[in-house]
């Protein structure tokens, strides 16, 4: 039975959504095409009708995850930067990488990835920095960018490390120290 164009687009969207979550949970090499397609309710045979390669899917899924993060960050930081920081550095965010920040979940994979993944990752970082930059207390735009870059690096780094250590106390200390080091009004 032939799949309609609309069904094919729905399938593609489902693959991207599932891949964005599963790559954040397991990494690019932590899940195979069979499992990715099965999670989307499809067979491996249909994969190449949607994507050129697993690397192509990784780049597009990273882009999807970054877009979701950007929308969430924009909505949350517009309401309260301090509340967003609290949520970002929470135990719940630490424990749910598949639903959380693509930067913290995929940085290691992106560093080893190809040019397409690195390009998508760089665009995502720039976009998230721009979102934070408008919230920084400095008067000068250059200083605001520096503050936003430092804030992003501090938060992502502390979340990444807090996920990597097996000690909940150390995990909490890492995130609390990061929060305290953020610009006034953010932590």
Show me where the domains of the chain are located.
54-181
C-alpha span between 82 and 86 (Å, rounded):
6
- Quick one: pLDDT at residue 178? 96
Confidence of residue 74 (pLDDT cuts 50, 70, 90): confident
Confidence of residue 76 (pLDDT cuts 50, 70, 90): confident
- Quick one: pLDDT at residue 1? 63
HSE-CB at 137 with a 13 A cutoff on CA atoms is: 9
HSE-CB at 80 with a 13 A cutoff on CA atoms is: 8
- Quick one: pLDDT at residue 26? 96
HSE-CB at 63 with a 13 A cutoff on CA atoms is: 14
Confidence of residue 46 (pLDDT cuts 50, 70, 90): confident
DSSP string, 92-127: HHHH-GGGS-HHHHHHHHHHHS-HHHHHHHHHHHHH
CA 55, distance to chain mean position in Å, is 17
Diameter of the chain measured on Cα atoms: 62
Confidence of residue 118 (pLDDT cuts 50, 70, 90): very high
Instruction: Residue count of the chain, please give it.
Output: 187
Whether the per-residue pLDDT at 170 is higher than 80: the answer is yes
Of 76 and 165, more confident: 165
- Quick one: pLDDT at residue 77? 82
- Quick one: pLDDT at residue 78? 82
Whether the per-residue pLDDT at 2 is higher than 80: the answer is no
DSSP string, 5-66: HHHHHHHHHHHHHHHHHHHHHH-GGGS-HHHHHHHTT--GGGGGGT-SSHHHHHHHHHHHHH
Q: What is the pTM of this model?
A: 0.88
First-residue to last-residue Cα distance in the chain: 56
pLDDT in tens, 130-151: 999 988 989 999 999 999 999 9
Confidence of residue 55 (pLDDT cuts 50, 70, 90): very high
CATH architecture of the domain covering 54-181: Orthogonal Bundle (1.10)
Percentage of residues in the chain having pLDDT higher than 70: 99
- Quick one: pLDDT at residue 123? 95
**Mean per-residue pLDDT, 141-162:** 96
């Amino acid at each position: 039975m032939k799949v309609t164009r609309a069904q094919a687009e729905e399938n593609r969207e489902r693959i991207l959504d599932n891949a964005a979550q599963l790559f954040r949970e397991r990494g690019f090499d932590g899940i195979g095409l069979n499992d990715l397609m099965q999670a989307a309710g499809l067979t491996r045979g249909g994969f190449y009708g949607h994507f050129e390669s697993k690397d192509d899917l990784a780049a597009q899924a990273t882009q999807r995850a970054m877009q979701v993060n950007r929308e969430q960050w924009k909505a949350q930081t517009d309401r309260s930067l301090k509340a967003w920081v609290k949520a970002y550095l929470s135990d719940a965010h630490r424990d749910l990488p598949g639903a959380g920040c693509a930067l913290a979940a995929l940085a290691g994979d992106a560093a080893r990835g190809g040019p397409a993944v690195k390009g998508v990752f760089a665009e995502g970082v720039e976009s998230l920095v721009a979102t934070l930059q408008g919230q920084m207390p400095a008067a000068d735009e250059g200083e605001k960018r520096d503050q936003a870059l430092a804030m992003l690096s501090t938060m992502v780094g502390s979340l990444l490390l807090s996920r990597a250590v097996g000690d909940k106390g150390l995990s909490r200390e890492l995130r609390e120290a990061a929060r305290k080091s953020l610009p006034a009004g953010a932590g």
